[in-house]
Amino acid sequence: TKKTNRLGISFYSEEQDIYHEGRLTLMSNLREDLQKDALELFYQPKLASDSGAVVGMEALIRWNHEQLGFIPPDEFIPLAEETGVISRLTRWVIRRALMDFIVFREGGYEGDISVNISARNLSESDLPEFLAQCLNEFGVPANKVTLELTETAVMEDPESGIVALKALTDIGINLSIDDFGAGYSSLSYLKRLPATEIKLDRSLITDILESESDRVIVQTSIDMAHNLGYDLVAEGVETQEVLDLLKSMRCDKMQGYYLSRPLNRENMQRWLSELQAE
């Protein structure tokens, strides 16, 4: 912002510039670290409510910068979306997740792998081709891969969003609608999405034991998901009580700290092998 001092000379507010520069520096650091492979993926399992089997694994990005320290994804993902860095980031995540997935499979893991993508990725017309090439390169069956996308991302531009999602699901991968119930939901579009899974937002799970209205919303969402032919996943399961309640509500899959925190690849391999040994 331009300000004018008492002498009538205009200058730029220093604060603004520092803020602006901070964001740019952050993004050039991110680009650099993506280039250097200096980011990491953590994995959090999704468990089937009935059998307790590990049916899925969600990749969550972690960025620990040499100088800046740990930066949470909630801070740099929105910036990466605004600046377009998300295109490279998503491709980095897809490749790394597929490579790690092969390692999990060699250890006997039979579930699938989920990767988060952003609204912005939907406008990349070559993303389906990129994904297909990676599946081919790493020998991963398409039906073992799920892309998680928030419903608000699709609702920004439903018509072209649906076309882009069809192009992705045409190669055989699965689609999961993330953070369902957190924003504005349009049920008429929901049934048109080529999804297989709906993930209830954590905000609906957090107070489920105390809040009658949250319970009603969750039960309604579960029933609706089933009527439309989708599986329903609850995220943010932090206690046995919540797990039991969700199970009684016929929730299909669960994810949360109570089952496992996100773990790096080595720790996830260990977690999986301990599970098999039980």
Which option in Ca ion, ligand C2E, none does residue 222 bind, with CB closer than 5 to 8 A by kind?
Answer: none
Decide: is 19 part of the binding site for ligand C2E (CB under 6 A): no
**Binding residue for ligand C2E, selected from 117, 127, 140, 242, defined by CB under 6 A:** 117
**Binding residue for Ca ion, selected from 81, 151, 178, 197, defined by CB under 5 A:** 178
Mask of contacts with ligand C2E, 34-73, x by CB under 6 A?
----------x--------------xxx----------xx
219 and 200 Cβ atoms separated by less than 8 Å = no
**Binding residue for ligand C2E, selected from 100, 179, 197, 252, defined by CB under 6 A:** 179
Span interacting with Ca ion, options 29-37, 62-70, 83-91, 140-148, rule CB under 5 A: 140-148
Decide: is 77 part of the binding site for ligand C2E (CB under 6 A): yes
Which option in ligand C2E, Ca ion, none does residue 74 bind, with CB closer than 5 to 8 A by kind?
Answer: ligand C2E
Binding site for ligand C2E (CB under 6 A): 44, 59-61, 72-74, 77, 93, 116-118, 148, 178-179, 202, 235-238, 255-257, 262
Binding site for Ca ion (CB under 5 A): 116, 148, 178-179
